[in-house]
């Protein structure tokens, strides 16, 4: 039976690359996104659900449908996210709520639904949370609600890793720095140029480079790894 991976934010820059990597590795991928999928994936290898991940009832319905149509979930990549750029203390309450809902609550609710399915599946199951280097590096531009949403995600990673270690559900975070995706459009030219010039290789990373790390964790090599936050930043923050 084909193994099933759910990728949130699958229509975005990182999400498309992660989807491609998991299809390459033999998964049937279900993509969840607010947007339609622009990439032409083979319908035998990919199904797309358009939904708002800030609505927990939409997440529940999607996972029920995944269960009945595709049999269950073996891997979940919580990748959907955004970076709203208002700065402290002038962050509107609605923007704060939305930032937490898109980046953290969506991952929380998808994990709740996925774990119930994973507990019924054989073998190793994997959850990979796409966090951010911004939760750890306070020299870069990220606003505090973005940092906090990703820090919350990384605490969820550790809790799930500990809670389900014996059930063979491995949960890790990948925390990338500057990666060239449509998310860059949310930054001013000045902020973007400064952040890219601080990357040791003088250029941002590509989504496929992050996707290969996600795929590695989901591969059998990742069976012995859980509860980690893996920072990917070309060595920028080593002191």
Task: Find out whether 53 and 59 touch, Cβ atoms under 8 Å.
Answer: yes
Q: How far is the CB of 64 from ligand NAD (least distance, A)?
A: 17
Closer to ligand NAD by Cβ: residue 169 or 211: 211
- Nearest-10 crossing angle of helices 56-70, 106-118: 30
Closer to ligand NAD by Cβ: residue 223 or 237: 237
Half-sphere exposure of 205 (CA within 13 A, CB side): 22
Q: How far is the CB of 72 from ligand NAD (least distance, A)?
A: 22
Q: How far is the CB of 8 from ligand NAD (least distance, A)?
A: 6
Q: How far is the CB of 133 from ligand NAD (least distance, A)?
A: 6
Q: How far is the CB of 224 from ligand NAD (least distance, A)?
A: 25
φ, ψ dihedrals at 143, nearest 5°: -75, 160
Closer to ligand NAD by Cβ: residue 117 or 133: 133
Closer to ligand NAD by Cβ: residue 11 or 121: 11
Residue at shortest CB range from ligand NAD: 12
Q: How far is the CB of 42 from ligand NAD (least distance, A)?
A: 20
Task: Find out whether 10 and 32 touch, Cβ atoms under 8 Å.
Answer: yes
Closer to ligand NAD by Cβ: residue 19 or 181: 181
Closer to ligand NAD by Cβ: residue 21 or 130: 130
> What's the rounded Cα separation, in Å, for the pair 147 and 130?
13
The CB density around residue 154, as the number of other CB atoms within 10 Å, is 20
Q: How far is the CB of 194 from ligand NAD (least distance, A)?
A: 14
Burial profile 204-221: b = 16 or more Cβ within 10 angstroms, e = fewer: bbebbebbebbbbbbeee
Nearest to 115 by CA among 154, 155, 78, 85: 78
Burial profile 115-130: b = 16 or more Cβ within 10 angstroms, e = fewer: bebbeebeebbbbbbb
User: What 3-state class would DSSP assign to 32?
Assistant: strand
Closer to ligand NAD by Cβ: residue 182 or 200: 182
The DSSP code sequence of 78-91 is E---------TT--
Which positions lie near ligand NAD, rule CB under 6 A? 9, 11-15, 33-35, 52-54, 79-83, 102-103, 130, 132, 176, 178-179, 181-183
């Amino acid at each position: 039976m084909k193994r099933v991976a759910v990728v949130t934010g699958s229509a975005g820059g990182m999400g498309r690359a992660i989807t491609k990597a998991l299809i390459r590795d033999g998964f049937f991928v279900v993509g969840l996104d607010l947007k339609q999928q622009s990439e032409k994936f083979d319908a035998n290898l990919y199904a797309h659900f358009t939904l708002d991940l800030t609505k927990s009832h939409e997440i529940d319905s999607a996972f029920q449908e995944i269960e009945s149509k595709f049999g269950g979930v073996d891997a979940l990549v919580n990748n959907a996210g955004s970076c709203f750029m208002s700065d402290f203390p002038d962050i509107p309450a609605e923007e704060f709520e939305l930032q937490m809902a898109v980046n953290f609550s969506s991952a929380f609710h998808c994990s709740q639904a996925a774990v119930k399915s994973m507990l019924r599946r054989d073998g190793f199951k994997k959850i990979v949370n796409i966090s951010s280097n911004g939760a750890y590096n306070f020299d870069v531009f990220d606003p505090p609600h973005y940092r906090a949403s990703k820090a919350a995600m990384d605490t969820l990673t550790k809790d799930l890793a500990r809670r389900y270690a014996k059930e063979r559900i491995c949960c890790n975070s990948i925390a990338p720095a500057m990666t060239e995706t449509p998310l860059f459009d949310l930054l001013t030219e000045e902020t973007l140029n400064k952040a890219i010039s601080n990357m040791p290789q003088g250029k941002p990373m590509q989504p496929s480079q992050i996707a290969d790390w996600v795929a590695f964790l989901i591969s059998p090599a990742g069976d012995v790894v859980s509860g980690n936050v893996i920072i990917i930043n070309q060595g920028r923050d080593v002191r």
